[in-house]
Amino acid sequence: MGRLSERGALALVSLTSFAVFLSANMLKPVLPVLASDLGGGELEVSGVMMAALVLLSLAQPLTGALSDRYGRVRMLVVGGALGALSSLACAAASSWSHLLALRGLSGLADAISGPAMLAIVASVSTESRGLAFGVFRFSQGASFVLGPLVGAAVAELWGLRAPFVVDFALTVAAVVAFAATFRHEAGGKAGSACSLRAARAVLSSPKMLRAACLGFLETSSFAIWLSFLPARMVALGLGEAEVALVISAEALAFSASSVVVGYASDKVGRRPVALLGSLVAGASSALYLAVSDVVHLALASAAYGAGCSAMYLVSTVAAADLAPEEARGAVLGSFDAIVDLGLAAGPLANWALLRATGLPSSASFTVMVLLSALAAVASAGLN
């Protein structure tokens, strides 16, 4: 097959991303309910929810350069296969601790495939890179919208374990179809930069570091939201359908705003878009302190998703602007690893705070407000 056009390659990557993330997001509303049914308390359920995020964060410093060394398509396939198998194993889990370990394995899978996918998008977009990443994030965001709703419906029809089996099947189908079709930069590159060197390149660049700080604060806040809000909802007596609605509301706003945010960042600059996003995310985080019914939780989550979209997308695009083509996978992987440290640091620090102080889980939302305020400060340092 001949080389795909830029638009064709971006469309194929975005479609694959949609399918893979659709299946993965099916698990979000059922995981807290299943973990609770298997004996987990509120903090244990939060641990299950954050396990994949933590392993993703910790593994990416080692996996970022794999796509440059062994091939971007190859690493996407390896990560997808590992993620599919971990989901299938979750269907047979007999305790919340089994779910905890298997979700960690899923995070490792994401750490392998994530940098490869980012590098593919960066390499196939030569102009209007902000818009290209906006389209890519829109495809992911759409799966974040539909996935929880589909997962809740599947669980209602066939039981809490059924979404894990569907996740396995969809992930395998999407990755196989992508590998069979995509031919752009399928092979590795000899002499690719190592992860340590790429990380040093990120840390030694003030511009890259400012973008990484913004992304780190956003992912810290989001990981707290994703780990503690569903557990809090289950503790309040809400089920997988309500959890799915709230998660999808956030994802819908994130997805719907991604293309607009990417376009705006090209036209008016990265800084004002990121600053506005941090202010919106902070204000919506404060709303969680005042509401507890599902409708208001969904509305607050929609506003939060729009704010996160601006911060996260601008952070990624700013890094892609600065990353050299010859080591783009390694540099973006290292950048993502630094940003995604927030996926571990945020929920782990918040979990430790709640455990040590005995504060209610609603205190998590105050922490999110503080992180958004710091993100506003970081936004001021962007170009």
* Spatial separation of the C-alpha atoms in residues 342 and 19, rounded to whole Å: 25
Is 136 among the domain residues? yes
The answer to whether 312 and 223 are in contact (CB under 8 A) is no
Pick from 96-110, 328-342, 356-370: least confident: 328-342
The answer to whether 232 and 354 are in contact (CB under 8 A) is no
Widest distance between CA atoms in the chain: 61
Is 40 among the domain residues? yes
Q: What is the pLDDT of residue 265?
A: 78
* Position 73 pLDDT exceeds 70: yes
Taken in order 54, 55, 58, 60, is the CA torsion positive or negative? Answer: negative
**In terms of residue numbers, what domain contains 38?**
6-186+193-379
344 contacts: CB under 8 Å, gap ≥ 6:
53, 54, 57, 58, 223
* Spatial separation of the C-alpha atoms in residues 150 and 18, rounded to whole Å: 14
* Position 312 pLDDT exceeds 50: yes
Q: Say what the pTM is.
A: 0.74
Packed helices 328-357 and 195-203: angle between N→C axes, nearest 10 degrees: 80
User: Cα–Cα–Cα angle for 15, 148, 56, nearest 5°?
Assistant: 70
What's the pLDDT band for 184 if we cut at 50, 70, 90? low
Number of domains in the chain: 1
Question: What are the tens digits of pLDDT across the range 208-245?
Answer: 788 888 999 999 999 999 999 998 888 888 888 999 99
Q: Name the range with the highest mean pLDDT among 24-28, 256-260, 281-285, 338-342.
A: 281-285
* Position 135 pLDDT exceeds 80: no
What's the pLDDT band for 373 if we cut at 50, 70, 90? very high
* Position 196 pLDDT exceeds 80: no
Please state, for a pLDDT cut of 90, what percent of the chain lies above it.
29
Is 121 among the domain residues? yes
Sort 97 into a burial class: Cβ within 10 Å, 0-12 / 13-18 / 19+: middle
Is 1 among the domain residues? no
Is 70 among the domain residues? yes
Q: What is the pLDDT of residue 262?
A: 77
The answer to whether 193 and 331 are in contact (CB under 8 A) is yes
What's the pLDDT band for 192 if we cut at 50, 70, 90? very low
The answer to whether 310 and 256 are in contact (CB under 8 A) is no
Q: What is the pLDDT of residue 298?
A: 95
* Spatial separation of the C-alpha atoms in residues 342 and 244, rounded to whole Å: 24
Is 358 among the domain residues? yes
Is 97 among the domain residues? yes
Q: What's the CATH code of the domain at 130?
A: 1.20.1250.20
* Spatial separation of the C-alpha atoms in residues 68 and 47, rounded to whole Å: 33
Q: What is the pLDDT of residue 53?
A: 81
Mean pLDDT, residues 81-98 taken together: 90
Name the nearest CA neighbour of 333 among 128, 59, 13, 127: 59
Is 155 among the domain residues? yes
Mean pLDDT, residues 358-383 taken together: 89
User: Distance between the two ends of the chain, CA-based, in angstroms?
Assistant: 41
What's the pLDDT band for 198 if we cut at 50, 70, 90? low
Average pLDDT score, the chain: 82
CA distances (Å), 189 to each of 33, 72, 326, in order? 44, 10, 9
Mean pLDDT, residues 42-65 taken together: 81
Rg, C-alpha atoms of the chain = 19
Q: Is the pLDDT higher at 145 or at 151? A: 151
Residue with tokens 């569907």: 166
